[in-house]
Structure 1
Amino acid sequence: MDISEKERRAAIVAFDYDGIVPTIEAFYILSILYSAKRCLDAFDRYDALDKKEENAEELVCIVQEAVGHAAALSRYFWPSPKDKKNQPTLKHLTNKRGEKLRKAFQIDKDSPLFNRALRNAWEHFDERLDEYFLENDAGYFFPSCLLNTHALADDPTGHVFKLLDINEECLVLMGKKFFFAPIRTDVLRVKHKAKDFDSNGSRLSFNEGRL
């Protein structure tokens, strides 16, 4: 399909249907439900694992997996601002889709899922790793997974790659902190909304009020 035809179709969906044609709402609902379930399943595995130093790597990996699924979930509501200069209508469609889903799921910028750093940490991870070492070329580096207080990441001479603060429920990744308890709570809310939509004809609903 050439760009002009894709733009024509995008215009219909964006302007006539606010970004999502009703007959395909189920695909978005089920995709959101999938990401939410994967996120919460990972957190359940984290709960079941002994919080011991010898499990540090596995604990960090599980939480990183959970937060990664949360980041994927976030993109449904706040699409990545990709460069679509030659397809402006498609970009508008993507933005309208995000707006429609935010309205249906009653989610706004107060949500921890809105955190741009949450998404950036998992997008182009290899490039961010390159930049991390360009910006931090001196001090103490900790390449292994750590179980410790997230305050270690505040030391300007200490560069923490991956750290998990069990007491404060905080994951530190390349010096960035992600307090995952609020993330987990909001993902659970989104999951409940998606299940409700799926149980009611796989259609989005726009009733007022948060769960």
Structure 2
Amino acid sequence: MEIITAEELELRASQTAKECGGIQPMHTPFYTLSISYSAERCLSAFDLYEHLLENNADPASLISAVQEAVGHAGALSRYFWPSPTGKRNNQYELKFARGKKLREIYKIGEDSPLANRELRNAWEHFDEKLDSYVLSNDAGCFFPTPIIDSHTLADEPIGKIFKLIDPNNHCLVLLGKKFFFEPIRAEVERIFIRTSE
């Protein structure tokens, strides 16, 4: 395999961004298959969650299934909204052109649940969030183990929720913060259907 120089890679990135809108036509199937994979894995994790819920699984297992689904949804969202980090060069510009083109192909608006990175970041940076949580909360009733209950418990001023799943409202509470995950699931289902059109 020929090794491409950094200069050549930058040139190709520039041409692809400017002339093709971020994706060369012959490369579209690579993105479609990758998007389909992430969407399918996300939906499989949500199906596992439903199965576990029907079989009265413990809270930790339910939260784990939602966490897996959200992780795959996060991977999916990066195709459409790439990370803003990185060296400002042609490859940087290419990833944003690619994201825009894919949003057009899949008819995804800026109001998509996948555009909100809050839940994904809550999992990806959980260790840092946990540091802040324990340093910020020094009084109250703490619930350090995962629980199944109403998300309204997180509204109590003295209640300190570590991890809670509210199946009736499709809500996950992490470190006292609520995340409603059903809109994510619905959007991923819609995208998955489009990958097979």
Shared fold per TM-score greater than 0.5: yes
Q: Distance in 2 between matches of 1:131 and 1:94?
A: 32
Q: Comparing 184-193 with 124-133, which one deviates more in the overlay?
A: 124-133
| 1:55 and 2:77 are equivalent in the alignment | no
C-alpha change, 1:12 and 1:83, in structure 2 (3 Å) is: same
C-alpha change, 1:130 and 1:46, in structure 2 (3 Å) is: same
Letter of the 2:105 partner, please give it: A
Give SS of 2:111's match.
coil
Give SS of 1:144's match.
coil
C-alpha change, 1:8 and 1:162, in structure 2 (3 Å) is: same
Q: Distance in 1 between matches of 2:164 and 2:188?
A: 22
C-alpha change, 1:50 and 1:102, in structure 2 (3 Å) is: closer
Report sequence identity in percent.
Answer: 54
Superposed displacement of residue 153, structure 1:
1.6
Gaps of 5+ in 1: 197-211
Equivalent in the alignment of 2:76? 73
Equivalent in the alignment of 2:183? 182
C-alpha change, 1:52 and 1:139, in structure 2 (3 Å) is: farther
Equivalent in the alignment of 1:203? none
C-alpha change, 1:3 and 1:154, in structure 2 (3 Å) is: farther
| 1:115 and 2:116 are equivalent in the alignment | yes
Letter of the 1:175 partner, please give it: G
Q: TM-score scaled by structure 2?
A: 0.89
CA displacement, residues 56-76 of structure 1 (integer Å, 9 cap, x when unaligned): 111111111112211211111
Q: Comparing 44-53 with 143-152, which one deviates more in the overlay?
A: 44-53
Q: Distance in 1 between matches of 2:104 and 2:182?
A: 23
Superposed displacement of residue 191, structure 1:
0.1
Q: Distance in 2 between matches of 1:153 and 1:77?
A: 32
Equivalent in the alignment of 2:153? 152
Does the 8 Å contact 1:64/1:171 carry over to 2? no
Does the 8 Å contact 1:51/1:59 carry over to 2? no
Letter of the 1:115 partner, please give it: N
Superposed displacement of residue 148, structure 1:
0.7
Equivalent in the alignment of 1:46? 49
Superposed displacement of residue 3, structure 1:
4.1
Q: Distance in 1 between matches of 2:175 and 2:6?
A: 39
Letter of the 1:32 partner, please give it: I
Equivalent in the alignment of 1:199? none
Q: TM-score scaled by structure 1?
A: 0.83
CA displacement, residues 34-55 of structure 1 (integer Å, 9 cap, x when unaligned): 1111111111112222457761
C-alpha change, 1:53 and 1:159, in structure 2 (3 Å) is: farther
| Paired residues for 1:92-111 under 5 Å | 92-111=93-112
Superposed displacement of residue 168, structure 1:
0.7
C-alpha change, 1:23 and 1:54, in structure 2 (3 Å) is: closer
CA RMSD of aligned residues (A): 2.0
CA displacement, residues 99-155 of structure 1 (integer Å, 9 cap, x when unaligned): 000000000122111112023123333233323333334433322111011112223
Equivalent in the alignment of 2:192? 191
Letter of the 2:67 partner, please give it: Q
